[in-house]
Structure 1
Amino acid sequence: MIKITQLSQLDLEATYNYADYLTWQLDKAVELIKGKVMLMSPAPNVKHQSISWQLNGLLFQYFKDKECHAFAAPFDVRLYDQHKSIQADQDIYSVVQPDLSIICAPEKLTEQGCLGAPDWIIEILSPGNSKKEMQTKYALYQESGVKEYWMVYPYEKAVHQFVMDASTEKYQLIAMYAEEDYASPQVFPDLKIDLQEVFAE
């Protein structure tokens, strides 16, 4: 088997699975969405990292004595259609690295990361990946059964909160928060996040 160490060795039109992904030793970070290789944005900028750091600290404090766990990228989340059973590595075609993932089912955690949908995913958008986050990942997270999905807009200092409607299995946009607001996830209603603190320069 040829050792894959460069992105140029991959056919970006081909379909790959998680078993393939595990063998790669690439010099660039990639995600796998429905079998297609998706390039991740260049190294996050200061604004992105500052927001991630603030959220990570707040979530760490909140979940410290709870059974749920928060993980920051890089952290592999393997996703599949929620109506199908857990698959073997060669049957999984989506591996993503959300900025922040909150997982409450310990059986989903493995040495490789998370197998199945996290309860809550937060993505901090960058100019180079906003289309991917807004369209491709939105559809993937919805299909996979992620209960709540937040899109954080660093430059607009805003958060869009999407929550899964149990009856339709579709996301509903239930809130659009601004910098001066306190944001609260529906899956953890007692958690109040001061967005002025999150977006502080």
Structure 2
Amino acid sequence: MELFHFFEGTDCEVFHAPFDVELQRDDIQEQHIVIPDLSIICDKEGLQDQKYIGVPTWIIEILSPSNQSHDLVFKLNIYMRYGVKEYWIVNPMLNSIQVYALNEKGQYDQMEVMKEKGNVRSFVFPQFSVDVTKIFS
């Protein structure tokens, strides 16, 4: 996948499921363990053998019929609360990608929605873009 190659030779690394992410921030008491489809981790201090403790920079989730509401509501809110800078929701049932990025108030703004064609770009890593047609072909 283009994403893995994009981060070669950088301080960031891509991890794919199954890889546990224990969301943790100093100002939040509780911890949540999630298993994102793809996690881009730039602060590697929290890396352990089979999990990461901290907040990934970017998370990508791929919807399935059984997890739609979980990823669209619960995970979106939990990732926003912990400060995941960018969150993509890939929906193969609709051939769409939704892009959310944290604003200065710590809330997600929906930056883009691409369906079936067009280029989707990252807002945290603006040099990275992907052709939606290639994702769903």
Bucket of the pairwise TM-score, normalised by the shorter protein: over 0.9
Determine which of 184, 187, 190 is the counterpart of 2:121: 184
In structure 2, the residue corresponding to 1:146 is in which secondary structure? Answer: coil
Determine which of 57, 65, 76 is the counterpart of 2:20: 76
Distance 2:53 2:99 in 1: 23
Structure whose CA Rg is larger: 1
Contact 1:81 1:143 in 2 (8 A): no
Between Structure 1 and Structure 2, which shows a larger proportion of strand residues? 2
Correspondences of 1:42-191 after superposition (within 5 Å): 57-81=1-25, 83-84=27-28, 93-166=31-104, 168-191=105-128
Letter in 2 for 1:179: E
Which runs of structure 1 show a deviation greater than 6 angstroms over 4 or more consecutive aligned residues?
none
Inter-CA distance 175–106: structure 2 relative to 1 (3 Å threshold) = same
Distance 1:77 1:61 in 2: 22
Q: TM-score, normalised by structure 1?
A: 0.65
> How much identity, in percent, do the aligned residues show?
36
In structure 1, the residue corresponding to 2:40 is in which secondary structure? Answer: strand
Q: How many residues align?
A: 137
Residues 122-144 of structure 1, C-alpha deviation per residue, up to 9 Å, x if partnerless? Answer: 00001111011111111110111
Alpha-carbon shift at residue 94 of structure 1 (Å): 1.1
Contact 2:116 2:133 in 1 (8 A): yes
Distance 1:82 1:159 in 2: 31
Contact 1:182 1:192 in 2 (8 A): yes
Residues 95-124 of structure 1, C-alpha deviation per residue, up to 9 Å, x if partnerless? Answer: 110000000112121223211110000000
Distance 2:111 2:90 in 1: 14
Between Structure 1 and Structure 2, which shows a larger proportion of helix residues? 1
Distance 2:4 2:88 in 1: 17
In structure 2, the residue corresponding to 1:110 is in which secondary structure? Answer: coil
Q: TM-score, normalised by structure 2?
A: 0.94
Residues 21-61 of structure 1, C-alpha deviation per residue, up to 9 Å, x if partnerless? Answer: xxxxxxxxxxxxxxxxxxxxxxxxxxxxxxxxxxxx11111
In structure 1, runs of 5+ residues without a counterpart are 1-56, 85-90
Alpha-carbon shift at residue 82 of structure 1 (Å): 5.8
In structure 2, the residue corresponding to 1:122 is in which secondary structure? Answer: strand
Alpha-carbon shift at residue 81 of structure 1 (Å): 4.6
Contact 1:98 1:123 in 2 (8 A): yes
